[in-house]
Amino acid sequence: MTGKENVKKAIEFGKPEYLPIELNFDPNWMNEKNENKVIIIKELFDQLKQDILNPSPFVHSVGEIIREGNKSFWLDEWGTGWEDDGYGTKAVTFPLEDGYELLSDYKFPQPQDMLKENDGSKYVRANVWFTLFERMWMLRGFENMLMDPYINTSNFEYFRDKIVDFNLARIEEWLKLNVDGIFFSDDWGTQRGLLMNPEDWRKYYKPAYAKMFRKVREGDAHVWMHLCGDIRLILPDLIEVGLNVLNPVQPQAMDVNELAADFSGKVCFNGGVDVQDTLVNGTPDDVKQEVYKLVDLFGKYDGGYIGATSHTIMPETPLDNVIAMLEAFAEVQ
């Protein structure tokens, strides 16, 4: 069985031969500097079978990167301005913030400019990152995007549909390359609940996701989606319209026991190792026990779990805890 086949079996509850794992680690990001521990971490990474190839979904700079002191600023291919102060990247300027009349002269990027070849050796997960809500607020501004469906409905709907059409074109190009999955992202949850009333979400956004997800599924690929925060109220809707894999499964926002009880066997979970608490504040044994628990909770249905963290490993994480996590995943793989 190839790595690609094994990942597919995990997603489709088809009895994978081993646990698929998707982990990332950047020693330069970490506060603790210990060359010997970093060597151990790299050796453990080399031992793990990681069979998912992921063309980078993140922010690409277009033109000059402006640096002032410890800050960098650049524009992405959409015209959104980004700032990195050394502690993370955030969107800070929005090309359509001043009004929808700007949309008439706005030039959308070309989907084919972002493609990479599928080498066919592993499970290839393409991306339509910052899919809809995130892309819209990165162009209009966050507060505008929360208000537009209610006070600027016709312009909102036109704008939303333009983004969806762009995404459909991009999905079509990815499918021509025979990718195995397509990764969407929209952070709809806070750690206390959804950003908007779920009935309004179903009215204004669910049909758009249904359209995009259907195109992926009809192209014989899996639908992955990155959704931070507590999205339990809309998870049944997402599964209904075609979601295969949920990422990143944040235990600070959603109870993993409840998720497993309600949704195991219906969607594959990707993530869950707690970067906010256990990895930062726990002991190495705490970390290992959490890995074992997640594998047991989500992997009972002939698959259904792809091992990963609940988000990016934080700089303050002790390296011993990173080592413990990798050792635990190596044991269960």
Q: Does domain 3-62+98-332 have CATH number 1.10.3470.10?
A: no
Which residues make beta-bridge pairs with 268? 245
Closest CA to 311 of 279, 267, 282, 287: 279
Q: What is the spatial distance between Cα 56 and Cα 163, in angstroms, rounded to a whole number? A: 20
For helices 206-218 and 153-176, give the axis angle rounded to 10 degrees.
10
Q: What pLDDT is stored for residue 177 in this prediction?
A: 85
Asked whether residue 319 carries a pLDDT value surpassing 60, the answer given is: yes
- Give the pLDDT confidence of 201-224 residue by residue, as tens digits: 999 999 999 999 999 999 999 999
CA distance 132 to 95: 16
Look at 277 and 106; give whichever has higher pLDDT: 277
Confidence of residue 114 (pLDDT cuts 50, 70, 90): very low
120 falls in which pLDDT band (50, 70, 90)? low
The identity of residue 23, as a single letter, is: L
* Distance (Å, whole) CA 241 – CA 210: 5
pLDDT per residue over 154-185, tens digit each?
999 999 999 999 999 999 989 998 899 999 99
For 1, the enclosing helix (H) or strand (E) is none
Encode pLDDT of 63-106 as tens digits: 788 888 888 888 888 889 989 887 778 899 999 999 999 998 88
pLDDT value for 139: 96
Q: Are 146 and 99 in contact (CB under 8 A)?
A: no
The tens digit of pLDDT for each residue in 295-306 reads: 999 988 899 999
Please indicate whether residue 57 or residue 81 has the higher confidence score (pLDDT).
81
